[in-house]
Chains A and B, each alone.
Chain A
Amino acid sequence: MRKILTGIPLILGVTLISFVLMVHFGPDKTYDLLGKNPTQEQITEVRHQLGYDQSFVVRYTKYLKELATMDFGYSDSSGEKVSSILVRTIPVSLALILPGFVLGNLLGVILALIAAYHRGHWIDKIIMGVSVMGMSVSFLIVIIAFQIIFSSSKGLDLFPVRGWDVYSFTDYIRYVTVPTLASIFVSLGYNTRFYRAVIVEEMGRDHVRTAKAFGAHPIELLFKSVLKNSMIPIITRIMFSIPLVVISGSLLLESYFGIPGVGKVTYDAIISGDQPILKAVIGLTAIMFVFTLIINDILYKVVDPRISLK
């Protein structure tokens, strides 16, 4: 409860800064919504409907009220209820991102363990070299290349190029595989390098050397003595990337694979200045961060009972 209360200033801070940016630097939708040859009266009318004629304080207060009631009204562009859009698109984004996110992190940890264990050895150098390669290639290029390799008629032709006609788990695997491979390819390098650095530091500790001296099996040593004690920075990295991954991380994947998720909706809202959607997404991201902080603290306690939640 205390954590939730301390999250309120964070939500207020994030929403305030975001709102200032939206109001002062966001696109003005007035002329997009007007017909040809509008009169001044019509311009004023649309600006009034969009709430542009209200003071900043009034608009921000209204926004906080919307956030509290979770009622963000209707999209300025499509006219659809914002809550309906989010309910429809967030699960799709989660379903799209989750396998890549989980596998990318799992593989990252495993490769990092192997590299760290063989520090300075050729295995370490190969893993790090491949990681740097993965980090260096643009996500866009990876997506296009993977589409050609795995999906197009000029490549292996194994999966759909785009779409999300998912009615069963088999369909899901068909549509999610290539985006997942692309996201793993791109994230693996970053994850592996980060986790390796953490694990290498842990491997130099006294208790690890003692375990080695006792003749502990490498697997036992890595998982019990190293990984378990490296969990704090690993959890921090994973947890804090969740809100970003859910809201914005899937934008390119959704655009190029034609997947109706929240990333694309958010991007379109940014470009077109659809404030009801932007307000909802920003507000929810801030709330998600607060919850992430709380879950993060609980997980710290789970992996290291010495840490107090107080």
Chain B
Amino acid sequence: MLQNSKWLNGLLQLIVVMSLAGCNAAIDIDKALEGYLKGPAKIYRHSLGGAPSSLDPLNSATLYANYIVINIYDTLFRYKYLARPYEIVPNLAVAMPEVSEDGLTYIIKIKKGVFYADSPAFPNGIGREVIAEDLIYSIKRHFDVVNRSQGSWLWDGKIVGLNEWKEAGSNYSDVIAGLKTLDSHTIKITLIAPYPQLIHTFAQGFSAFVPHEAVKHYGRELSVHPVGSGPFKMLRYESSNYALMIRNIKYREEPIDLEFEGYDPILHKKYGIDKIAGKSPPLVDALKIDFIKESASKWASFNKGNEINFTGVPVEQVEKILSQKQPKPILTPEMAEKYHMFNTTETGFVHTDFNMRDPLIGYNDDPVRDKRNKLLRCAIRSAFDWKERNDVFYSGIAVTFPGIIPPVVPEYDPELSNSSTLRNLDEAKRLMLEGGWTTDNVPSLVYGGVASVATRQMYEQFRGWMKDIGYPEEKVIFDSYASFGDFNKAVKQAKIMIFGMGWGLDYPDAQNTLQLFYGPFGAPGSNSSNYNNPEYNRLYEQTSTMQPSTERTQLYREMNNMVIDDCVTISGLSRENIFLWHKNVVSFTDAQIVGGFHLKFVDMLDEETK
């Protein structure tokens, strides 16, 4: 027995040792802010449905990465916190750029006295002042031959001398004609052709100001050790679990002007937004963002009360928390008592594309078959039931719209006929007949997607609709891919016949969705349907240099009609996002274009002021 107790004792000791080894190095937020903190730390715990892959601005391609990058780093511009439609405003820039008459030259002044957060990357660990040269360095990094950038497309072929700089070997001491500093705080950008979306590119994480010292110090691991001049500073980053940031104590003093931010008492007062007027962001001492994919776990953590303060509402909870879904979602009284809610239509949409490079359904060298293929695509679209898709997969609260210009952009046409989004079986059958399609001669439809329950269910629903127009069940085939990477590869190689896609806008301009159908951007580019209509391409090129105007909007709408008429895609549906947050949090959340920019405005109330 004595031997047994020794053995047990040893085992217990081992457990204690292992558990302490598994403890994080102690993080004391109060200590990290020592000397700057008045009272106990205010900690806001946000949640995201996925984890960022990299926090290096070079690769801040996902919503999740961008969310964090723009809070650690500074960008020239940002979007107003509360104004909708979205309005771009200066951030690190002093004012909006001075643009030459021909739209080719931009002069941008940046604020003086802005400093990078302290980091071991700097001499003596003290962050230096942000200068204009930092932006040039940061853009050059995207075109450095040794770097793997996901953001270079924003400026590829747009800035004078930039592509040539890359071709010449990316020597950082070489000057780029179109990217110069006029003084330590003024940048001059010269474009090859007008690029109206340029300022929007400077509101994205890709364009963040990166100090060269940090790149030198951390090398590839800059992706997990971000160093910037944004409102927060990274304290701890567990790449697949959470990011814990503390207030950047060197962040500039900029009292909040609610009127400027687009404050509307009718919309925002109920969230307590008026309480932050005049305060200087960031308003919390620490910001923790948990990356939680598992909706049950996220929901339980949110309802706990002392864990995450914010959640997007999972689809399976929508029915339970709402007393009314239409015309406007309303929380049940019990939920409204406990939480704030905001619902908004996503800045993007989902659509189902036909692969136009597939001669069985898309373009065909035989003009007769080509015409018959178009009739087949149109018949399939007419059989597609957006209402049912909305009810089954999006709680019936999503918004359907015709074509590829979603309701969130200013160029959206509310007057456009929605016939392309309505199910019309008679029309579908008529089109099949007109095309000479019968159960015997229809081509097999291969529906590709990631091997997941939801995708499989969508396929089964699609197959049911096809059956309704006489398509034999065995001719609607599911082609499953083990991972998104494999699926994406197949799409980029134009190997899938029909597939569901989703798109989140990079900026609030329909050009960002119209490029999805621009011929030269076909696979492996973003034009996954491989649509290639010369007239569409011509209009796209024409509008790409036009400033926002009625004329440009008209041309955008013409392009939208072409995509609808050619039955290239079955589109579209913008999902409705419902967000909930605790009553002690002062916030107005937007998960998309404003995205992480809102986090510096989030405040926490104590019990008395709640």
Contact = CB atoms under 8 A, between A and B. Distances in A.
Contacts of A30: 489
B583 to A, nearest CB: 15
A162 B21 contact: no
Interface string B53-88: 110100101000000000000000000000000000
B271 to A, nearest CB: 23
B485 A264 contact: no
B21 A153 contact: no
Interface string B475-487: 0000000111110
B240 A268 contact: yes
A23 to B, nearest CB: 14
Interface string A31-51: 111111110000101100100
Interface string B195-222: 0000000000000000000000000111
B368 interface: no
A103 B524 CA distance: 53
Contacts of A265: 240
A28 B489 contact: yes
A45 to B, nearest CB: 8
B224 A79 contact: yes
A89 B527 CA distance: 40
Contact of A167 (B4, B24, B53, B301): B24
Contacts of B238: 88, 260
A58 B305 CA distance: 54
A272 B483 CA distance: 7
Contacts of B300: 147-148, 151-152, 161-162
B153 A36 contact: yes
A165 B4 CA distance: 34
A151 B153 contact: no
Given A35-B153, A152-B303, A161-B301, A49 B148 contact: yes
B305 A172 contact: no
A163 B307 contact: yes
Interface in B19-72: 19-24, 26-27, 51, 53-54, 56, 59, 61
A27 B485 contact: yes
B170 interface: no
B262 interface: no
A171 B11 CA distance: 20
A38 B148 contact: no
Interface string A78-89: 111100110010
Contacts of A256: 294, 296-297
Contacts of A80: 221, 223-224, 239
Given A35-B152, A37-B153, A99-B15, A74 B220 contact: yes
Interface in B131-171: 148-153
A111 interface: no
B15 A102 contact: yes
A162 B292 CA distance: 10
A43 B148 CA distance: 11
Nearest to B52: A78
A207 to B, nearest CB: 20
Interface in A159-174: 160-169, 171-172
Given A35-B61, A255-B294, A95 B22 contact: yes
B526 interface: yes
A182 interface: no
Contact of B19 (A29, A33, A95): A95
Given A38-B524, A271-B483, A79 B294 contact: no
A29 B485 contact: yes
B461 to A, nearest CB: 25
Nearest to A264: B240
A78 B53 contact: yes
Contacts of B151: 35
Contacts of A35: 61, 149-153
Contacts, number: 182
B222 to A, nearest CB: 7
A165 B223 CA distance: 23
Nearest to B524: A38
B26 A167 contact: yes
Interface string B8-23: 0001001110111111
A79 B222 contact: yes
B488 interface: yes
Contacts of B4: 223
Nearest to B222: A79
Contacts of A85: 239
Contacts of A161: 297, 300-301, 304, 307
Contacts of B221: 74, 79-81, 84
Given A161-B301, A172-B23, A31 B492 contact: yes
A144 B15 CA distance: 26
A171 B300 CA distance: 20
Q: Which interface residue of B19, B21, B239, B292 has the most chain A CB atoms within 10 A?
A: B19
A25 B239 CA distance: 25
Contacts of B482: 25, 27
Q: Which interface residue of A27, A29, A164, A176 has the most chain B CB atoms within 10 A?
A: A27
A37 B521 contact: yes
A292 interface: no
A67 interface: no
A172 B21 CA distance: 11
Nearest to A43: B524
B492 A167 contact: no
Given A36-B526, A256-B294, A268-B240, A168 B304 contact: no
B304 A94 contact: no
A27 B19 contact: no
A25 B486 CA distance: 10
B297 A258 contact: yes
Contacts of A49: 148
A166 B241 contact: no
A256 B296 CA distance: 8
Q: Which interface residue of A154, A258, A272 has the most chain B CB atoms within 10 A?
A: A258
B130 to A, nearest CB: 23
A147 B307 CA distance: 14
Interface string B221-248: 1111000000000000011111000000
A243 interface: no
Contacts of A218: none
B209 to A, nearest CB: 19
Interface in B172-206: none
A257 interface: yes
Interface string A263-297: 01100100111000000000000000000000000
B525 interface: yes
B353 interface: no
A77 B56 CA distance: 11
Nearest to A30: B489
Contact of A37 (B15, B16, B61, B525): B525
Interface of A: 25, 27-38, 43, 45-46, 49, 74-75, 77-81, 84-85, 88, 91-96, 98-99, 102, 144, 147-148, 151-154, 157, 160-169, 171-172, 176, 223, 255-260, 264-265, 268, 271-273
28 contacts: A25-B482, A28-B489, A32-B53, A32-B488, A35-B153, A37-B153, A45-B148, A49-B148, A74-B220, A78-B224, A79-B220, A79-B221, A79-B222, A94-B22, A98-B18, A99-B15, A152-B303, A153-B303, A161-B307, A162-B290, A166-B19, A166-B24, A167-B24, A256-B296, A257-B297, A258-B241, A260-B241, A264-B240
Given A35-B149, A153-B303, A259-B241, 7 more contacts: A31-B524, A35-B152, A78-B54, A91-B21, A144-B296, A148-B300, A257-B297
The 4 nearest A-B residue pairs measured at CB = A95-B22, A79-B223, A27-B485, A37-B525
